[in-house]
Structure 1
C-alpha cells in the first residue's frame, strides 16, 4: 500500500507531500487542480516512461518518491525480488522506498531503498 508520496518539480507541482491511510483516500479539486498529475506521478514511480516535459518549468529535475508498506499478500513476492537484487533493507523489510528522478533533458534514474536500479527492476517491484 502506498503510504507516502513526495513530489518535487513535477508538471505544475512545486512541492507536495501526501500521507495515505488504510481504506479509502479521496482526492478532490477543481478542474486543472492537478489530480491527474498525481496519477501520472505514481505511474512514473512504478516504471512508466519518463519525459523531460514532465519537469516543472524552470526546474532542472523532478523527483517522485513513494513509501510502500508490504502487506501479507504482497510481502513474499516483493521480498524475493528485493533479496535477489540485493535491495533488501535488513533493518526494515516492512517498507519499500521507491524514487524516480527525471531531468529536463529526459534522462531519468530510479532507486529502490536508496539503490539505483534499472526500469525492469522498478517495474517488477512496483
Structure 2
C-alpha cells in the first residue's frame, strides 16, 4: 500500500514502476528539475545516469555540473524517502528546489576557487526557483 501511495504522490500517475531511470530522470518531477538546470548550465545534457557519470572523468571541465547533479540526485532520493518512509505529504516542486539548494550550499567547499563564481551563479538561480510561487504540475 505504501508503494502505491508513493507512486501516486511522486509520479502523479500509477503506471510507472520505480526504477533508477524513472525515479531520477523520467518521472515528471525530475524532468522539470533537469529541464530548468539545463537552462542554468546553458547547455542541454542527456538525462541518464550513464551520461551524468561520464562527466565525472573530466571533473575540472564539469566540476560545477557534477556537484549540482549530485545535489539533484541526492535531494531526489531524500525526498523519495521522506514520502515513502516518513509519510510526508507532497506539497510542491519548491520543496525539492530547496533541498537541492541546501545541499549545494553545504557542498560549496568541494568546488575549486576557479569554478566558485559559476557555482555561485547556479546558487543564485536556485534561490530564485526555490522562492517562486508553487504551480500545479502539468498533467
TM-score (norm 1): 0.32
Richer in helix (by share): 2
- Structure with higher RCO (Cα < 8 A, 6+ apart): 1
TM-score (norm 2): 0.31
Richer in strand (by share): 1
